[in-house]
Amino acid sequence: MVTSRAVTFINNSTPATLVKKEIDLDKCHDENQIVIQVYAASLNPVDLLLHSFAYKYVVGSSMKTYSRDYSGVIVKRGSNVDPKWKVGDKVNGMFKHLYGDQGTLSDYLVLDPSQQVAIVHSTAPPDSKYNEFVVSAAWPLVFGTAYTALFNFGQKLGPDSKILVIGASTSVSYALLKIAKEVLGVKTMVGVCSSKSVDYNKKLGYDYLATYDQGPIPESVGKILVGELNNEKFDLIFDSVGGSDFFPIIDRFLKPKSQNSYYLSIAGDNKIKYSEPSLRDAISPWTILRRLNPFKSFNYGLFLVDSQSEYMELGAKMIKEGTYEPLIDSVYPLEEFQQAIEKQKSNTAKGKIVLKIKGDL
């Protein structure tokens, strides 16, 4: 028997709480499952939203758990598990669940790797100031989200493509930038950020930067479009923070629908304040209508990342090659999970917030 800790909640009126329970590692899994001792995990905005929107009359009174990203070591495996997953292997991944009784802010995670396919053998970056498990826990969900935007909507993006990224400073946007540059060879990446973050994002690799705090965003982007881009419109507009500024004038910025251009969002029409999230902001009626309207004049997608092995394999490859390393804002021990959650709520993190589950990392 071992003691397993986990950060849990019941509904949106109960706080995140660290609970302990005894588990038998020999009996907690079936023959199709592996048991992972989690060494590190990270937070994502979706964790805060799911807690905030967990109304008791909808989600019930069962205990629910935090987080999806994880890294760790396999400590048990069932007899039917694919032989490539061995006891002692270092792994990381994105554990897909919705109000489940297992999350990754816990000491142990039990999963079927044939069902939870966003899992890979961990790779370490060539040179990093962070522990390899901390790095491995920081990228699966954001990298998978970026991969989905670039590969899963049927676009053939390449060197001549032009991509506009709204929310250039986010971890998802950075992953998208690196995949677009290093894998697809995209030569024109335009980011939107605050005026204070322009130098920061130039160093990350954006070709051009517009600001959202020095006048209307379309006006700032329009100057780049007319000037540096010679009025060549975008193949893809990717929004990682939420907004609707471009919709009334989308034809000025996005290539025609017939050329398979896309406006993709992971946040909808409104920027969400994670300290006080509003269900109306998160699920705007206009966002729903835009997504479902078959007569809209442009291709639009609002999506969440699904479980896929392809993005995990690509991410591990890029980590090993040194062509991508996730941005990490801060690292906390599991015991300081509340401080980590407050940092995520602040909307000020530049990179992922990682929690060390295994104390001696």
Tens of pLDDT along 176-211? Answer: 999 999 999 999 999 999 999 999 999 999 999 999
pLDDT in tens for each of the 361 residues of the chain? 999 999 999 999 999 999 999 999 999 999 999 999 999 999 999 999 999 999 999 999 999 999 999 999 999 999 999 999 999 999 999 999 999 999 999 999 999 999 999 999 999 999 999 999 999 999 999 999 999 999 999 999 999 999 999 999 999 999 999 999 999 999 999 999 999 999 999 999 999 999 999 999 999 999 999 999 999 999 999 999 999 999 999 999 999 999 999 999 999 887 777 777 766 666 666 666 666 666 678 999 999 999 999 999 999 999 999 999 999 999 999 999 999 999 999 988 889 999 999 988 8
What single-letter DSSP state applies at residue 249? G
Identity of the residue numbered 153: F
* Cβ neighbours of residue 56 closer than 8 Å, sequence gap 6 or more: 10, 11, 12, 13
Q: Which of 16, 10, 29 is nearest to 108 (CA)?
A: 29
The model's pLDDT over 220-242, given as tens digits with 9 standing for 90+, comes to 999 999 999 999 999 999 999 99
Chain centre to alpha carbon of residue 286: 24
Identity of the residue numbered 104: T
Report how far residue 83's alpha carbon sits from residue 81's, in angstroms, rounded to the nearest whole number: 6
Measured CA to CA in angstroms, residue 168 lies from 92, 177, 240, 254 at distances of: 26, 9, 8, 18
Report how far residue 291's alpha carbon sits from residue 356's, in angstroms, rounded to the nearest whole number: 38
Domains by residue range for the chain, with CATH: 2-139+326-356 (3.90.180.10), 142-302 (3.40.50.720)
Measured CA to CA in angstroms, residue 282 lies from 37, 75, 269, 316 at distances of: 34, 39, 8, 32
DSSP symbols for 108-142? EEEE-TTTS--EEE----SS-SS-HHHHHHHSHHH
* Cβ neighbours of residue 318 closer than 8 Å, sequence gap 6 or more: 178, 179, 182, 183, 324
pTM for this model (two decimals):
0.95
